[in-house]
Chain A
């Protein structure tokens, strides 16, 4: 148990579906992150939220829509995805200062068919 919980763990969706990934942290952190991990590529940052405000969007397509209602919860809303969006989506949290440790969830394995 890392203190960062992601649901669902696995998701298969069609290209016309709409689904959401959920992340929850119980560590009292102020910053939350979405990362994408594709096969044979380094982890790529998608979005950063600090105190519920989005501070970074790493040129992510609009078919990915993040939502951060409070410092403990982070969502990633998905719609009209492409097969190349299939990947492991990882959520992380930290105190939001650059010299502090980041903690990751177990990830959601997404397959787009």
Chain B
């Protein structure tokens, strides 16, 4: 059974810092891994999708890497800003169903 874990659960950093969020999954037989952002009380915004054949994806200040063999993905945020404050979630599709399996998220606060 696939399980997804995110560390740390919460993170508070000053503006301008580069930071890394971690996502681990127990079953390496994944199709892809997706990173989302969620603002309080709001829906999920897709940030990056990494296919299983890819090692990393970049979008602006965000860079996500994937190491299937070790069951890990990292989301790197460069030059963090207060507007980056949100909960960041990673998810992988279940191998034999249509559902996404989510981690519990990392709650990020970037203070000025």
Binding site for B on A (CB under 8 A): 2, 4, 6, 31, 33, 40-43, 45, 48, 50, 55-56, 58, 88, 90, 92, 96, 98-99, 101-107, 109
Contacts and interface: CB of A to CB of B under 8 A. Distances in A.
Contacts of B91: 43, 102
Contact of A31 (B41, B49, B98): B98
Contacts of B52: 99
Contacts of B105: 42
Interface stretch (B28-36, B60-68, B77-85): B28-36
A70 B32 CA distance: 27
B97 interface: yes
A62 to B, nearest CB: 20
Contact of B31 (A40, A96, A99, A107): A99
B37 to A, nearest CB: 11
Interface of B: 4, 31-32, 34, 36, 41-46, 49, 51-52, 89, 91, 93, 97-105
Given A6-B43, A98-B93, A102-B34, A45 B99 contact: yes
A33 B103 contact: no
A43 B103 CA distance: 8
A99 B45 CA distance: 18
A59 to B, nearest CB: 12
